[in-house]
Amino acid sequence: MRLLALLRWELVQTTRGAAPHIAITFAAISSAVLAAIGVAALSRWSPLTSGDASLGLFRTVRPASSPLASLAGEYRGGITYLIIITWMLLVAAFVGPAFSAGTLVRDRQTGRLARLLTDAARADVVAVVKLLATLIPLGLVLAAILPTASFAWLLGGLLGREAVLGAAILILVVVSVVAIGLLCSALATTEAAALLSSYLAVGGFLFGPILVGLGLSVTGLSAAASTVMSFTPFVAIFSAESSLAHSYSQTMAGQWPMPRFGWEIGKLFVPAWAADALLYAVLAATLVWLTSVVIEPLHPLKTRQLRQSASLALVGDGIESQ
């Protein structure tokens, strides 16, 4: 009940601001524009149209001959869903730090953080409340983009299982992004520093494996590059559509560079999305725990040295008394 009461208070404070409403409006309008671009692409770009029969407003054209164009034509629904999920991820990476980066800094500056720690009696409860209070309005922003996902179902070829897996990976990545913002907010002393460090950390989380992989490829370490690039969230979401990822890897075999979409451990095949999902879950939990450590003034990790000094002093006093 204490957690729910604190969460209710945080949500009331969040909804009073204009930022969530502006973000929801931006997400809804941008998703509508994205759908309009998709409709235009369907009517003009041959790989996304049918070569056998007309699809109503979409004109019939001859399929393209390039391998990637053929792949796009065969998996047009899956590719469209992948684009929509990627767009939602980018929106979350842009809006999430803006929601979470300054919350603990403001509470510390106004003295409210001390009251929250007193009311909750545990720093980890405060960290979880802050996480949920950011995820809920951010989830509403992303929900404004969801109607665009129906465009992928219109094209066909998208399996329900793969769509659910892609959405699950997206949720874990969004939680990790918010957790990064909370930790930066706990460590920073000003809102500007928290926001800047959050965007840098989130950018490294999303694009760091790609840049490192490209650098390793340039130096000739192709195997290491493929392994590193497989841990980027974009590859994780891509690998959730196993049939599309397999066809892409077969089509682009030997091209530079190629991320790994899974690992073979004995007779067991572990897809990249499963390994990345576990990694993101552990990362988010670790970041939330670290946030609780930072905001708790008397956390055992912080007072260990003080306790050791006190114990040594007591031992010294005991020796002197003898």
Q: Inform me whether the pLDDT recorded for 308 exceeds 90.
A: no
Give the gyration radius of the chain's Cα atoms.
Answer: 24
DSSP string, 185-224: HHH-SSHHHHHHHHHHHHHHHHHHHHHHHHHHHHTT-HHH
| Mean of the per-residue pLDDT values of the chain | 75
Q: Specify whether the CB–CB gap between 9 and 132 falls below 8 A.
A: no
Residue of higher predicted confidence among 242 and 199: 199
Closest by CA to 135, choosing from 95, 186, 163, is 95
Per-domain residue ranges of the chain: 2-298
CA–CA distances in Å: residue 33 to residues 40, 79, 107, 118, 291: 11, 17, 38, 47, 38
**pLDDT for position 58:** 42
**pLDDT for position 78:** 76
Q: Which of 13-17, 249-253, 273-277 is least confident?
A: 13-17
Q: Which of 48-52, 83-87, 205-209 is least confident?
A: 48-52
Pairwise CA distance, residues 168 & 240, whole Å: 9
**pLDDT for position 54:** 43
Q: Which of 10-19, 94-103, 179-188 is least confident?
A: 10-19
Closest by CA to 231, choosing from 168, 292, 163, 277, is 277
Choose from 1-10, 55-64, 211-220 the range with maximum mean pLDDT: 211-220
- In the block, tokens 């979470």 appear at 100
Residue 147: cis peptide before it, omega within 30 degrees of 0: no
At 14-38, the pLDDT tens digits run: 666 666 667 677 777 777 776 667 6
Beta bridge partners of 269: 264
Residues 6+ apart with CB under 8 A from 161: none
- Burial label for 184, CB within 10 Å (0-12, 13-18, 19+), is buried
CA–CA distances in Å: residue 210 to residues 106, 215, 293: 34, 9, 31
Residues 228/93/174/106 CA torsion (nearest 10 deg): 120
Does an H or E element contain 92, and which?
helix 76-100
